[in-house]
Chain A
């Protein structure tokens, strides 16, 4: 055992986290941009045409990562909101708030691109099936969280109210995930599972690169946003005037 132990609690204080987050941003923003370009290249120029869906399946390279991000970020947001509530940790609540906007954007992207994929593949823009409906509910949960937080003036009370909503809403995430197994759905089942994937390796590569790009992009924008939230909320803190100046 080493004697040098990193004091993780140190970075739970907004004053210590603010400069650290600032240093981390370029290390996520630049790789995200590069991975988006590589992912698009593989998705459009390397991956072959699908024999059933033709070229329209290329929508899935953005649709599937966006849908995954919508779910991952919701769980992450709920965890942060829960920590902020249970341990009275300001920074965790600010992280939850920072994640909510990005999660809502990815969920919206998954709904719109899914609709644009469904029109040629199924012949309809929208069906009230289990997966689509539960994803729409996810979108409403994000909107509810954001508007609930902004409607309460006292920020710590707003954080607690948001945490209750976020934690109750977590039940929706497994419902989305398993909806294609539990109910008869028009939506196709999981193409990538732990044991196998039913697609060409280059298609899988494009999808995983796009997923990595979306993840790293999310980390970058959340770090940028949480810094602005810190600055907005802790305007009177003396450390802030030193850090910003």
Chain B
């Protein structure tokens, strides 16, 4: 990056080291990404729970119970 905009290949190790601040910079973006992605995942989980509650299927619990009983035998 120091040799200006003319270069096409760039030094990735230098880029990832962030001038010695890698832990702080990537830590910040990593935590932010995990939190926002976590928010989206929690919404998807909420959607699944809602769908399950709105269309209850008693058969699934029964089959699940049967398979667990088979596991014991």
Contact = CB atoms under 8 A, between A and B. Distances in A.
A189 interface: no
B73 to A, nearest CB: 39
A154 interface: no
B35 to A, nearest CB: 5
Contacts of B36: 105, 109, 217
Contacts of A66: 32
Nearest to B19: A55
A228 B28 contact: no
Interface string B8-40: 000000010011110011011101100110011
B57 to A, nearest CB: 15
Interface in B14-73: 15, 18-21, 24-25, 27-29, 31-32, 35-36, 39-40, 43, 46-47, 50, 54
A102 B46 CA distance: 15
Given A62-B29, A113-B31, A231 B50 contact: yes
A228 B45 CA distance: 11
Contacts of B25: 55-56, 58-59
A153 interface: no
Interface residues of A, number: 31
A221 B38 CA distance: 12
B28 A112 contact: yes
A232 interface: yes
Contacts of B40: 221
A235 B56 CA distance: 14
Contact of B50 (A49, A62, A120, A232): A232
Nearest to A113: B28
B35 A109 contact: yes
A200 interface: no
Contacts of A62: 28-29, 32
B43 to A, nearest CB: 5
A134 interface: no
B54 A231 contact: yes
Contacts of B50: 228, 231-232
A116 interface: yes
Nearest to A114: B28
B15 to A, nearest CB: 8
Contacts of B27: 116
Given A119-B24, A224-B43, 11 more contacts: A49-B19, A55-B19, A55-B20, A56-B19, A56-B24, A58-B18, A59-B29, A113-B32, A116-B28, A116-B31, A228-B50
